[in-house]
Copies of this chain bind each other. A is one copy, B any other.
Amino acid sequence: MTKTAPRRSRARPVQDPSQDTALPAGKATINDIARLTGVSKKTVSRVINDSPLVHPETREKILALMKQLGYTPDPQARGLAFRRSFLIGMIYDNPTAQYIVNMQYGALDALRDSGYELVVHPCDSTQEDYIDSVRRFALQQKLHGVILIPRVSEDEQLAAALREIGVRYVRIASIPLDAGPQMVVTQDRQAGTEAANYLESLGHRTLGLITGPRRYRSTIERGGGFVEGLNERGVELPADYTYEGGYTFESGVAGAEYLLAKSPRPTAIFACNDEMAAGVYKAAMRRGLSIPGDLSVVGYDDSPLASQLWPALTTIHLPIRDLGRQAAQMLLSDEPAPDEAATSAPRLVTPQLVVRDSSQRPKG
């Protein structure tokens, strides 16, 4: 070892580092930095890891050389020594394309220049072994943490499995399912109630509801909040004016066809996402019903689709990109002390009603 070191420095002669073009960008190692600055690699390591135990001058000298050589520590080597990687996993189960992509953009916003990268991991939560497959993924990649998106974020067994193997996670969900630092809460119930208040205040008394699948927590919250909101204002939503959709366009069509055949016909429909609301448009068009003249429609998400529909859709704004950004940020931040963590409040995101052109007072 004591022999090879000098030999290497002769093989790659670097007298004046400022003149040096022999080291290709991104190929310098901690040993090069240590050798050229005349310190041990441990000291360089301290600078890499922001240790306060380095003399300011030494630190400056090292940082300057790193910058000059375009040195960045090798995440694999660092990871091997740390026994974990610099990868964040995003785990999800088939929401809409817009939802996934915006969530990814948000997470990447937070990860930019952090040295962490995003590894995507869609899965099928209806499969028996999906938890095991996520566990294997997290374990093998030694993930720094994972972001869980509905509906997998609502699965307590998944969360338990991740805790058991010591993998950090942040869950994005309708309600607080975990301690503060593990949660971004979208408060869907509140949004459902807001939709109800709005439509009731316009004068609607006969309403229809198209929910997501029963196994989604958001279905309980959005739908439940809507029904509650109506009840509080003295309007009842009969059980047969609710249709269980699948958060898909086609199920929105089917739901609207079911509801619009009712007598009395609802004058307003709340669809629990924009895709289904678009389906309601199609069904209404086919029946020759005009929106909002004959039927008011309110959606949920405020995806690009909402402003593309004609008339533009009144909907609940969900800041998806922001959710992704916050979740990733929480994974990067240092863990608070366990006792604080248990009691600290989760991040609350407040959904907002966006009134556009698909809703008005009912006729007559």
Contacts and interface: CB of A to CB of B under 8 A. Distances in A.
Interface of A: 25-26, 72, 74-77, 79-80, 85, 87, 97-98, 100-102, 104-105, 108, 117-122, 136-137, 139-142, 165, 249, 278-279, 282, 285-286, 304, 308, 310
Nearest to A104: B120
Contacts of A308: 249, 278-279, 282
A289 to B, nearest CB: 13
Contact of A26 (B97, B140, B278, B279): B140
B122 A108 contact: yes
22 contacts: A25-B139, A26-B136, A26-B140, A26-B165, A72-B136, A72-B140, A74-B80, A74-B140, A80-B80, A87-B117, A97-B97, A97-B100, A97-B101, A100-B101, A104-B122, A105-B122, A117-B141, A120-B120, A249-B304, A249-B308, A278-B308, A285-B310
A31 to B, nearest CB: 14
Contacts of A79: 76
A141 B116 CA distance: 10
Nearest to A85: B76
How many copies of this chain are found per oligomer? 2
B104 A142 contact: no
B80 A76 contact: yes
Going nearest first, the 7 A-B pairs with the smallest beta carbon separation are: A26-B139, A97-B101, A97-B97, A97-B98, A76-B79, A76-B80, A249-B308
A137 B108 CA distance: 13
A118 B120 contact: yes
A171 to B, nearest CB: 21
Nearest to A119: B117
B75 A77 contact: no
Residue from the set A121, A139, A140 with the largest chain B CB neighbour count within 10 Å: A140
Contact of A310 (B74, B105, B137, B286): B286
A87 B89 CA distance: 13
A6 to B, nearest CB: 24
